[in-house]
Amino acid sequence: MKDNSSWSWSSWKICLLSVLFLTKTIAAVKLPPNLIVPALIAFGDSIVDTGMNNNVKTVVKCDFHPYGIDFQGGVATGRFCDGRVPADLLAEELGIKSIVPAYLDPNLKSKDLLTGVSFASGGSGYDPITPKLVAVISLEDQLNYFEEYIEKVKNIVGEEKKDFILANSLFLLVAGSDDIANTYYTIHARPEYDIDSYTTLMSDSASEFVTKLYGYGVRRVAVFGAPPIGCVPSQRTLGGGIMRDCAETYNEAAKLFNSKLSQKLDSLRKTLPGIKPIYINIYDPLFDIIQNPANYGFQVANKGCCGTGAIEVAVLCNKITSSVCPDVSSHVFWDSYHPTEKTYKVLVSLLINKFVYQFV
């Protein structure tokens, strides 16, 4: 289901490249005078994981090179990217900070808590089976850490300021790709479900998660839809046939989930007083980038930059067995599953106004 906004992806193409190179250390978008966003807090999977998996015993981790080669100082922080991820970029655009640390970062300072952290864990998902399959942090456990966070913030600034931070901060929820690509299609861990009932399970879980956040005092929640998962390099390899075309079955599943998710958020907006959940349509802009890479300054969209680009991700993308492409900026994808920082910057430049003005 397409977002109901009046976005025209083609109309942005002319100015996109110039936008990318104008990013400052804190390149804040101009906020309306009545809008204050004190912190950015993220939940979900590897798209917004900033290092939560570093101390988890799982193969879904990336705290080693070549991950992080374009991060500050070339440090592998546990971000599934060559550089920064959407949580960092959105926080920067909102004028909060340029790096959003993981909640379990051993170097985390009290001031970091007040401006936001990420609880997201690569490999997690809406289906409770999904994180168990790869031994990562479930959404339920991310909420348990969030409860700890709330108590710590209250101890630092008091009850009233804590409530203000929860009510006015931007909360990101990004999940669903691993449910569709891994749990359902690759591992076939839910044989009792057809894709319609499975995407209902996913959308119900997303709705329940947002409702739980509301119970903690959260009001501004941006929930990302699923991307065109069938066009991700690894899924082309696994489900796209000998020519590695986009796996259309996977894409149709993503669109079905997105339609249900959008409807669920509309329903919450009507039933939970004061909540402002917004559905972020990531499918259409990313699909356009993949189908028309040259329009956005890319050359390669069907392979990642790491290794062969067809299958390497997490531990398979390493400095021992995997080379890195000569020009990361020419690739839409960093590894076989995750976009490059440059791609994330393109997407953020397209979506930032939606984050700002729908929360006013």
Q: What is the pLDDT of residues 155-206, one digit of tens each?
A: 999 999 999 999 999 999 999 999 999 999 999 999 999 999 999 999 999 9
Compute how many other C-beta atoms are within 10 angstroms of the C-beta atom of residue 348.
20
- Are 338 and 81 spatial neighbours (Cβ–Cβ below 8 Å)? yes
Strands (E), 65-167: none
- Amino acid in position 83: G
- Give φ, ψ of 207 to 5 degrees: -60, -40
Identified catalytic residue from 49, 82, 178, 335: 335
CA distance 197 to 192: 9
Whether the pLDDT of residue 67 is over 50: the answer is yes
295 burial type by CB count under 10 A (0-12 exposed, 13-18 middle, 19+ buried): middle
Active site residue 338: yes
Which token pair is 145? 């850490």
- Give φ, ψ of 194 to 5 degrees: -90, 175
Give the residue among 288, 201, 231 at the shortest CA–CA distance from 7: 288
- Are 201 and 152 spatial neighbours (Cβ–Cβ below 8 Å)? no
Q: What is the average pLDDT score of the chain?
A: 91
pTM: 0.91
**Directed axis angle between helix 248-271 and helix 195-215, to 10°?**
40
Stronger pLDDT, 13 or 245, i.e. the higher one: 245
Active site residue 335: yes
Whether the pLDDT of residue 2 is over 70: the answer is no
Identified catalytic residue from 46, 121, 177, 322: 46
Q: Positive or negative CA dihedral for 241, 247, 253, 254?
A: positive
Contacts of 172 by beta carbon, 8 Å cutoff, 6+ apart:
40, 41, 42, 43, 44, 48, 86, 87, 90, 221, 222, 224
Whether the pLDDT of residue 25 is over 50: the answer is no
Active site residue 112: no
Query: At 4, is the pLDDT very low, low, confident or very high (cuts 50, 70, 90)?
Result: very low
What pLDDT digit, counting tens, does each position of 145-160 carry? 999 999 999 999 999 9
Which token pair is 261? 């998710």
Identified catalytic residue from 138, 322, 336, 338: 338
